[in-house]
Every structure is written in structure tokens, then in C-alpha cells.
A and B are shown apart, each in its own frame.
Chain A
Amino acid sequence: MNWTSFLEFTRGPLFYAALLIFIAGMVYRLVRVIALGWARDRVKSRGSKLGGAVRSLLKGFLIWPFIPWVKNTFSRSPLIYVAGGLFHLGLFVVIFLGAAHMLVWKSLLGFGWPTLPLPIVDWLAVVAIAAMIVLFINRLVHPVLKLISGPAEWLNLVFVFLPMISGYILTHHLFFRYETAYSLHMLAVDWLLIWIPLSRISHFMFYFFAKAIHGAQFGKRAVAP
């Protein structure tokens, strides 16, 4: 087995299998959560549930990230808030607005979109990598966090870190031949796809539901979330 054929494997059958496991796993997780059931709603609404849900989601994306100091999650641990925020920003830009990744989406969905210049994506990749290191160290030194971090928490960080760092190495042609670095990147990505449904990283899907449900509850009582 040489790196060229290993790359074919990680870009081909392994990716294929990982993606199917990802899809099946995420649907499974979602169904399990939905099947937990809702308490029957016997109280008359005073406001619009839908409006509340929409408002909650919009606020979560468009307002809070820009005025974080009014939230007490921020004032309680600004480091986690800022590092976490920057990590997610970097991740989003790299995965959706980098040229290489847009081409992945295009091949899967059948349509593409404009991308950001590589240097910008590149800096945000660095920011995300730095943020992950900060979060890792913070978890190591923070007494409470350390207590509540089981193996799964550490592994989550590592498994997201690996595609990031290997992607950066790949783009910059560092240390390895391109097909070697590419194989490692794909291996990390394929594993992440399998790992996500098994882990709490699947929060990215539940986040939107949680936000919507909270918003709906606030909306119903006609109070601002």
C-alpha cells in the first residue's frame, strides 16, 4: 500500500462509509431525542410560539456574538466564551467558505457558492487552531473543568483538532508529501464523521432545536428570550 492508493481509499470507500454512518447516526440521535416526547401543552398561548423561536435563533446568531458582555456566560468565563466563539467562527469559515471545502459540498449537493480568498480562510484556520489549544489548556488547568472532563471530552477536542491541524499542514505543504498529508487529513475527517453521532459534538444539530424550543416557550408567554 502506498500513499497514493491510501489516499484513494480515504477519499473513496472510507469517506463513503463514514458519511453513511454519519447520516444514519445523526438521524438516530434526532429520533431518540424527539421520541423522548413533549409534555402536552395545556396552557393557552399569550404570544406566538413561532415568532419566539425565530427571534431566539436570530438573536443567538446575529446579536449575542457581537455584544457578549451582556450575557453572564461571558462575564463568568470570558476566555471560554471568546475562544469558543472564535473556534466556531473559524470552523464555519473553513468548512463552508474555503475553496477546497466548497468543492466538497458542491460535489455532494450539486451546487456551489463563492468562497473567501485563501489567506483569509488561512488566518481563520490559525485562529481556530489557536482557540482549540487555549480551550485544551484551560480544561487542563481549570480545577472544575478538569473534574468534569472524562475521556470523551478530551477525545472530542482531539478528534476535531486533527482535521484542523492536518488541513493546515496540507494547505501549506508542511512536513509531508501532499498525498500523505491529504491522506492524513481525510483519515481524520472520516473518523470525525463516524465519531460525531457517537459523541456530544452532535450538539451542533441539537443546538438549533434547543434554541427553537426555548424561543417557542418564551414566545408563548410573550416574554423576550
Chain B
Amino acid sequence: MAEETIYQRLQAAGISRRDFLKGCGGLAALMGLQQAPPVAASGLPAHLARGGDPAPLIARALATKARVPVIWLELQDCAGCSEALTRSHSPTLVDLVLREITVEYHETLSAAAGFQVEAAKQAAMKQYAGKYLLVVEGSIPTDGIYCTIGGHSALEILQEAAAGAAAIVATGNCSAFGGLPKARPNPTGAKGVLDFIEDKPVINIPGCPAIPEAFTGTLAHFLIFGGLPELDELHRPKTFYGHTVHDRCLRRPFYEAGKFANTFDDEGARQGWCLYKLGCKGPTTYNACAGIKWDAGLSFPIQSGHPCLGCSQPNFWDGGGFYQGQSAPLDRPGIGVAAAAAGIGLVAGAGIAMANRAQKRASDDGK
């Protein structure tokens, strides 16, 4: 049986060709496909791939490709990334993509439960071996006693599912970098997917939660081009993580002018000035917040008056305090340790001075 293509399915769902193409255009814009390289990398015939309007290209891809099966693991997570995704209402992208992936297994969303759902997962992994996309939400504990599902440790579950995956998408800071569970003192020995998986392509979509459009945009890329988008050194798609929040921040002119809010309710805060002194981590945070924003482009934390926490960066929970300036050191000696250091200096100084004096006296006596 030839698998139904995405376009055929959309047609059956009553979506007109016009709406379909519009959706493709929106998708292209969001994915940043206006630049040539990703289009060229699509492997499509040259006349289609060479520059120009990428919407037809996407339309063509969606008209010829089958849906992508997805297995979605939730390990040490809060389901926030799933929540953000299912509740996001960006009409074009999220709809289009969510309809075009078949989530074969999802720890929270699957209707089945218990042994049934585990059996369904096994069946899906067998049926789509080598083809499915593995989405991981949540961190992996290295202490075996935490987070077991169906009698298996999180690590076993991950390794089993990763073995047959075409690629792995680590959504959220937890699965990308360890996230909240990894915050000091990291009682479960939590780590991210990349700490365990070396032989499969891994894409990180960090965030707390991940921006739904960044997730779906990356999936769309996989759907359309059958491969991974260009990634940065932390395995994040450059399209969404190529710029810092600070680069695109609407408060940036105030930063440049040195106008800062000093408290959350002072005149500066009311005037919309820069939140650097209130702990903003925007300058070191690579994420698409300031561009795509949240809730269908309504706003994002900094616009609403809260400093960026750096949620798409490794170890942001231990980044020196959410309300502590970006420049503050991460580790500070307490009074006791500082006094001990001073004490060492004192003892060493006094000791050497005394030794010198004794030596001098001895040589004076000798004269």
C-alpha cells in the first residue's frame, strides 16, 4: 500500500490548495528558508532549489512525502514542552506539522496505558525501524533508581528507542542539557541526551519550555528535507538559535544608552528600560524569543517586564541567580573562605618575616 502523502491527507481534511500554499509560505518564512543554503541542501532538482520562492518547494515536498512517525519519550520532565506545543496556537506551523507527524507513542498523550501502550511502542519501533523520529523530553538520571517506566531505567528506554531512530530531537533544556533536574546538587545525576547518544544525529531544541515554533520548525525541516537543519556547536538549529535574545531585544536601545531599570517598579521599569541590572541573561542566551515570541507572537518575557533567565543555555539554573546581574561571578567565596585565604597570607607573611629576622639576628650575633 502506497502511503498517503501529506498533501493528500490535508486535501481529505478539506484544506484547499490555496490554503495549503499559504501554509507553505508561512512555514518557509518561519524556517528562515529565504536564504539559499538550506534550500540548496534539500537535494531537490536544481531549478527548484536555486533561490527564489521556497514555498513551492515546500509544497512539492509535502505533496510527495509521507507522514513522519514520532516516538516521544518523557523522562525526568514536567511535560511543559508537550504542554507548550499542544497549547500553542500558531495557525500555520503548529497545525500543519502536528497534523503531519503521527505520534505513535507519547507517555502523557497516548490514550492507552500500562502494558498496552508499552506493546504499542514496541510495535511502532519495529514497524518504522530506521525511519522514526525520536523526541525526548526530560533529562536522564544516571542513578538507576530514579525514573523507571515499565520496569526499565530511563537510560535503557532511551538507548532502546534511539537504536532504531532516524534522528533524535531533544526538546527542552532538560533533555538537551540536563535542565532543572541537573541543577545543583543534581541528586539524580541527571544528564542530557547527547551525554549518551553518539551514533545518531541529535538536535537540541532547548528552552524551558522549548518555543513551540522552534520545535515544529525543526520538525518541518526534517519532514520536508528529510535531514537535519544546520546546527550550532551546542547542536541547536541555527535558524532559531543563531542570535542572542539581546541581539533582537526591543529594549536594546536602552541598553546601548545605559538606561536600566533598577527595581521592578521604578520609573525605569515603567519606561520599558533595559533589564540588565535585574539579572537579564539575554546577552549570552541564544533563542528565538525576541523574534518569534510566545502565544502566537503576542509577547515574550522581556517584553512583559521580566529579565531573560537564559533558559536555552546549559546550566541556566546555576547561572548565579535569576535576579543577579549577568556580570556577577558564578562562584563567590563566603566570608569564612575569604578569611581563611587572608589567614594563609598572614601566616605565610609573618612566618617568613620571622624567619628572616631570626636569620638576621644570627648573622648580626656572628659579627
Contacts and interface: CB of A to CB of B under 8 A. Distances in A.
B258 A119 contact: yes
B333 A107 contact: no
Interface in A1-24: 2-5, 7-8, 11-13, 15-16, 19-21, 23-24
Contacts of B276: 99-100
B325 to A, nearest CB: 3
B347 to A, nearest CB: 9
Given A12-B330, A15-B330, A35-B353, A2 B338 contact: no
Contacts of A20: 333, 337-338, 341
Contacts of A12: 329-331
A32 interface: yes
Given A99-B277, A106-B325, A178-B284, A31 B331 contact: no
Contacts, number: 126
Contacts of A178: 244, 246, 283-284
Contacts of A23: 338, 341-342, 345
Interface string B6-19: 00000000000000
A157 interface: no
Interface stretch (B54-62, B166-174, B313-321): B313-321
A30 B349 contact: yes
Contacts of B353: 31-32, 35-36
Contacts of B324: 103, 107
Nearest to A118: B258
Contact of A27 (B234, B332, B342): B342
A27 B233 CA distance: 43
B348 interface: yes
A8 B257 contact: no
B327 A100 contact: yes
A4 B313 contact: yes
A204 B239 CA distance: 49
Question: How big is chain B's contact interface, by range?
Answer: 35 or more
Contact of A24 (B258, B344, B352, B354): B344
Given A23-B341, A24-B341, A24-B344, A16 B333 contact: yes
A179 interface: yes
A182 interface: yes
A27 B244 contact: no
B349 A108 contact: no
Interface string A163-174: 000000000000
Nearest to A14: B331
Nearest to B349: A31
B325 A25 contact: no
Nearest to B313: A4
Contacts of B348: 24, 28, 31
A107 B345 contact: no
Contacts of A13: 331
A13 B333 CA distance: 10
A152 interface: no
B314 A35 contact: no
Contact of B257 (A32, A35, A117): A117
B314 A5 contact: yes
Closest 6 CB pairs of A and B: A118-B258, A31-B349, A27-B345, A103-B325, A35-B353, A107-B328
10 contacts: A8-B315, A11-B329, A16-B332, A26-B345, A27-B345, A28-B345, A31-B350, A32-B352, A107-B332, A118-B255
Given A27-B346, A31-B350, 18 more contacts: A2-B233, A3-B233, A15-B329, A19-B329, A23-B342, A24-B344, A27-B344, A28-B349, A29-B345, A30-B349, A31-B348, A35-B353, A100-B276, A101-B327, A106-B325, A107-B328, A119-B257, A179-B284
